[in-house]
Structure 1
Amino acid sequence: MPNIKSAKKRVKVTKVKNMQNQVVKSALKTILKKYDAAVASGDKQAAEAAYKVAVKAVDQAAAKHIMHKNNAANKKSALTLKLNAMA
């Protein structure tokens, strides 16, 4: 445990930030699962709608530094390939 006041504050702030990041990661995973389910169902319109939501969520996660920008680009590419394979 930290003894210095500023170190104690950093522990508190880090705990809050970790919780916020966990919420964003969890929401992102849920959105990606919904997209996979829409693609698996074979409904093109539902898949396209879910694609837009998923890409936006990935971009937001990358902007908040929850995931690396290259990882985000890789995920978006994979999402696009799945959508295009449906056609």
Structure 2
Amino acid sequence: MPQTQSHIKNSKIILRNRHLNRKYKLLIKKAIKTYLLSVKDAINDNTQEHLTICINNLSLVYKTIDKAVKKKILHKNTASRKKSRLANMIN
């Protein structure tokens, strides 16, 4: 248990930041999951519609990852690694 007033305030800030970080990381995971499902559908059916859906989902993933980097939830190198691995799946 924190003893001083500054430690008490700091623990509240840590809890708030943990909640926000979890929220953004869950958004990223959900976006990646929908993207992977769309890639799986595109592999099964080689149609142009599925490919456009994959590209749209990939741009959504990029958007959420970039927002997390901007808010310093993810490191920029981690974000670029994730984005490149996801982009290689379409190729």
| TM superposition shift of 1:58 | 1.1
Deviations 1:13-56 (A, max 9, x none): 11111011101101110000001011110010110110110111
Divergent runs of 4+, >2 A: none
Question: Structure 1 stretch 54-63 or stretch 28-37: which is displaced more?
Answer: 54-63
Name structure 2 gaps, 5 residues minimum. Answer: 43-49
For 1:16 and 1:71, how far apart are their aligned partners in 2? Answer: 23
TM-score calculated relative to the size of structure 2? 0.87
What residue is the counterpart of 2:51 in the other structure?
44
Percentage of matched positions with identical amino acids: 29
What residue is the counterpart of 2:9 in the other structure?
9
Name structure 1 gaps, 5 residues minimum. Answer: none
Aligned pairs (5 A) from 1:14-33: 14-33=14-33
For 1:80 and 1:3, how far apart are their aligned partners in 2? Answer: 49
For 1:80 and 1:2, how far apart are their aligned partners in 2? Answer: 46
CA RMSD in angstroms comes to 0.9
